[in-house]
Protein backbone atom coordinates (compact mmCIF):
# COMPACT_ATOMS: atom_id res chain seq x y z
CA UNK A 1 0.00 0.00 0.00
CA UNK A 2 2.88 2.34 0.72
CA UNK A 3 4.19 1.84 -2.83
CA UNK A 4 0.69 2.24 -4.26
CA UNK A 5 0.21 5.51 -2.41
CA UNK A 6 3.57 6.65 -3.77
CA UNK A 7 2.20 6.14 -7.32
CA UNK A 8 3.38 2.62 -8.17
CA UNK A 9 0.47 1.33 -10.30
CA UNK A 10 1.90 -2.19 -10.55
CA UNK A 11 2.16 -2.44 -6.78
CA UNK A 12 -1.41 -1.19 -6.45
CA UNK A 13 -2.70 -3.76 -8.94
CA UNK A 14 -0.85 -6.55 -7.06
CA UNK A 15 -2.21 -5.28 -3.74
CA UNK A 16 -5.81 -5.35 -5.00
CA UNK A 17 -5.33 -8.85 -6.45
CA UNK A 18 -3.89 -10.16 -3.17
CA UNK A 19 -6.62 -8.47 -1.14
CA UNK A 20 -9.25 -9.93 -3.47
CA UNK A 21 -7.89 -13.44 -2.98
CA UNK A 22 -7.61 -13.03 0.78
CA UNK A 23 -11.04 -11.50 1.20
CA UNK A 24 -12.78 -14.05 -1.03
CA UNK A 25 -11.66 -16.74 1.44
CA UNK A 26 -12.58 -14.63 4.44
CA UNK A 27 -16.02 -13.62 3.12
CA UNK A 28 -16.79 -17.18 2.01
CA UNK A 29 -15.94 -18.45 5.51
CA UNK A 30 -18.01 -15.75 7.24
CA UNK A 31 -21.01 -16.33 5.00
CA UNK A 32 -20.75 -20.05 5.65
CA UNK A 33 -20.67 -19.40 9.39
CA UNK A 34 -23.81 -17.25 8.98
CA UNK A 35 -25.45 -20.16 7.09
CA UNK A 36 -25.41 -18.20 3.83
CA UNK A 37 -24.41 -19.43 0.40
CA UNK A 38 -21.57 -18.17 -1.74
CA UNK A 39 -23.76 -16.14 -4.10
CA UNK A 40 -22.85 -12.84 -2.44
CA UNK A 41 -19.09 -13.45 -2.10
CA UNK A 42 -17.94 -11.59 -5.20
CA UNK A 43 -20.29 -8.65 -4.60
CA UNK A 44 -19.01 -8.23 -1.04
CA UNK A 45 -15.36 -8.56 -2.10
CA UNK A 46 -15.90 -5.92 -4.79
CA UNK A 47 -17.47 -3.62 -2.16
CA UNK A 48 -14.41 -4.14 0.05
CA UNK A 49 -11.99 -3.42 -2.78
CA UNK A 50 -13.95 -0.33 -3.81
CA UNK A 51 -13.98 0.92 -0.20
CA UNK A 52 -10.22 0.35 0.07
CA UNK A 53 -9.73 2.26 -3.18
CA UNK A 54 -11.95 5.16 -2.13
CA UNK A 55 -10.66 5.36 1.45
CA UNK A 56 -6.99 4.56 0.91
CA UNK A 57 -6.08 8.16 1.71
CA UNK A 58 -7.37 7.64 5.27
CA UNK A 59 -4.80 4.94 6.06
CA UNK A 60 -1.87 6.27 8.08
CA UNK A 61 1.33 4.78 6.57
CA UNK A 62 2.98 4.92 10.01
CA UNK A 63 0.52 2.26 11.18
CA UNK A 64 0.19 -1.38 10.11
CA UNK A 65 -1.95 -1.86 7.02
CA UNK A 66 -3.54 -5.22 7.90
CA UNK A 67 -5.70 -4.01 10.82
CA UNK A 68 -6.95 -1.07 8.75
CA UNK A 69 -7.89 -3.14 5.71
CA UNK A 70 -9.45 -5.92 7.83
CA UNK A 71 -11.60 -3.31 9.56
CA UNK A 72 -12.80 -2.03 6.20
CA UNK A 73 -13.61 -5.60 5.13
CA UNK A 74 -15.37 -6.43 8.40
CA UNK A 75 -17.60 -3.36 8.09
CA UNK A 76 -18.51 -4.16 4.48
CA UNK A 77 -19.33 -7.75 5.41
CA UNK A 78 -21.49 -6.62 8.33
CA UNK A 79 -23.26 -4.13 6.05
CA UNK A 80 -23.99 -6.88 3.53
CA UNK A 81 -25.31 -9.25 6.18
CA UNK A 82 -27.52 -6.51 7.61
CA UNK A 83 -28.93 -5.76 4.16
CA UNK A 84 -29.78 -9.43 3.82
CA UNK A 85 -31.45 -9.43 7.21
CA UNK A 86 -29.06 -11.97 8.70
CA UNK A 87 -29.07 -12.10 12.45
CA UNK A 88 -27.00 -14.47 14.49
CA UNK A 89 -28.45 -15.56 17.80
CA UNK A 90 -26.76 -17.59 20.48
CA UNK A 91 -28.69 -19.52 23.05
CA UNK A 92 -28.18 -18.11 26.53
CA UNK A 93 -28.13 -21.69 27.80
CA UNK A 94 -24.77 -22.19 26.07
CA UNK A 95 -23.28 -19.49 28.30
CA UNK A 96 -24.87 -20.38 31.64
CA UNK A 97 -21.52 -21.32 33.16
CA UNK A 98 -19.87 -18.01 32.29
CA UNK A 99 -22.70 -15.54 32.84
CA UNK A 100 -22.49 -13.52 36.05
CA UNK A 101 -24.87 -14.37 38.85
CA UNK A 102 -28.03 -12.28 39.03
CA UNK A 103 -27.30 -8.96 40.67
CA UNK A 104 -29.00 -7.52 43.68
CA UNK A 105 -32.01 -5.74 42.15
CA UNK A 106 -32.34 -3.37 45.07
CA UNK A 107 -28.73 -2.26 44.61
CA UNK A 108 -29.32 -1.74 40.88
CA UNK A 109 -32.42 0.34 41.58
CA UNK A 110 -30.48 2.38 44.13
CA UNK A 111 -27.77 3.12 41.55
CA UNK A 112 -30.38 4.14 38.99
CA UNK A 113 -32.19 6.33 41.49
CA UNK A 114 -28.91 7.98 42.49
CA UNK A 115 -28.24 8.88 38.84
CA UNK A 116 -31.81 10.03 38.20
CA UNK A 117 -31.63 12.29 41.24
CA UNK A 118 -28.75 14.16 39.57
CA UNK A 119 -31.01 15.27 36.71
CA UNK A 120 -32.99 18.51 36.59
CA UNK A 121 -36.33 18.28 38.39
CA UNK A 122 -38.45 18.17 35.19
CA UNK A 123 -36.17 15.49 33.71
CA UNK A 124 -36.46 13.42 36.90
CA UNK A 125 -40.24 13.63 36.73
CA UNK A 126 -40.35 12.56 33.08
CA UNK A 127 -37.83 9.73 33.46
CA UNK A 128 -39.59 8.31 36.51
CA UNK A 129 -43.01 8.52 34.86
CA UNK A 130 -42.09 7.13 31.46
CA UNK A 131 -38.97 4.99 31.88
CA UNK A 132 -39.54 3.64 35.40
CA UNK A 133 -43.34 3.54 35.67
CA UNK A 134 -43.94 2.95 31.95
CA UNK A 135 -46.59 5.64 31.56
CA UNK A 136 -47.46 6.91 28.07
CA UNK A 137 -46.09 10.25 26.87
CA UNK A 138 -49.60 11.64 26.40
CA UNK A 139 -50.46 11.10 30.08
CA UNK A 140 -47.20 12.61 31.29
CA UNK A 141 -47.56 15.57 28.92
CA UNK A 142 -51.05 16.45 30.15
CA UNK A 143 -49.96 16.01 33.78
CA UNK A 144 -47.01 18.42 33.56
CA UNK A 145 -48.42 20.83 30.98
CA UNK A 146 -46.20 20.03 28.01
CA UNK A 147 -46.93 18.75 24.53
CA UNK A 148 -46.44 15.05 23.90
CA UNK A 149 -43.60 15.80 21.47
CA UNK A 150 -41.87 18.03 24.01
CA UNK A 151 -42.10 15.26 26.61
CA UNK A 152 -40.53 12.77 24.21
CA UNK A 153 -37.71 15.20 23.41
CA UNK A 154 -37.19 15.88 27.12
CA UNK A 155 -37.07 12.14 27.82
CA UNK A 156 -34.50 11.63 25.08
CA UNK A 157 -32.32 14.41 26.44
CA UNK A 158 -32.69 13.12 30.00
CA UNK A 159 -31.66 9.61 28.95
CA UNK A 160 -28.67 11.08 27.13
CA UNK A 161 -27.73 12.93 30.34
CA UNK A 162 -28.17 9.72 32.33
CA UNK A 163 -25.85 7.89 29.97
CA UNK A 164 -23.23 10.62 30.42
CA UNK A 165 -23.61 10.49 34.21
CA UNK A 166 -23.28 6.71 34.12
CA UNK A 167 -20.08 6.87 32.03
CA UNK A 168 -18.63 9.40 34.47
CA UNK A 169 -19.14 6.97 37.36
CA UNK A 170 -17.38 4.11 35.60
* CATH number, domain with residue 18: 1.10.1740
Q: Same domain for 10 and 64?
A: yes
| Residues whose CB falls within 8 Å of the CB of residue 125, separated by 6 or more in sequence, listed in order | 140, 144
Provide the pLDDT for residue 99. 52
Closest listed residue to residue 144, CA positions, set 160, 158, 124: 124
Distance in angstroms (rounded) separating the CA atoms of residues 61 and 1:
8
Look at the pTM and tell me if it is higher than 0.95.
Answer: no
Q: What is the dihedral of CA 21, 23, 25, 29, to 10 degrees?
A: -170
In a shared domain, residues 75 and 114: no
142 SS3 class: helix
How long is the chain? 170
Contact 64, 116 (CB under 8 A): no
Same domain? For 120 and 56 the reply is: no
* pLDDT value of residue 86: 52
Note whether 77 and 109 are same-domain residues.
no
% of the chain with per-residue pLDDT over 70:
85
24-73 pLDDT tens trace:
998 888 888 777 777 788 888 999 999 998 988 888 889 898 898 988 98
Of the residues 26, 52, 83, the one at which a domain ends: 83
Cβ(11)–Cβ(4) below 8 Å: yes
Structural domain boundaries enclosing 43: 2-83
139: exposed, middle or buried (Cβ count in 10 Å: 0-12, 13-18, 19+): middle
In a domain, 90, yes or no: no
Distance CA(79)–CA(42), nearest Å, equals 15
- Total structural domains in the chain? 2
Looking at the fold, whether 49 and 113 belong to one and the same domain comes out as no
Name, in order, each residue with C-beta under 8 angstroms of 63's C-beta and a sequence gap of 6 or more.
none
Q: How many CB atoms lie within 10 A of CB 21?
A: 11
**Which pLDDT tens digit goes with each residue over 4-28?**
888 889 999 999 999 999 999 988 8
Are 74 and 130 contained in the same domain? no
Amino acid sequence: MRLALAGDEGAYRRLLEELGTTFRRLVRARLSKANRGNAEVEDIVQEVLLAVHLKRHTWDPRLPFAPWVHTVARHKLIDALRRQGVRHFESVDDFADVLPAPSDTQSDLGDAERLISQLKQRQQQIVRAMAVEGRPAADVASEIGMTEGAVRVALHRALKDLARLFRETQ
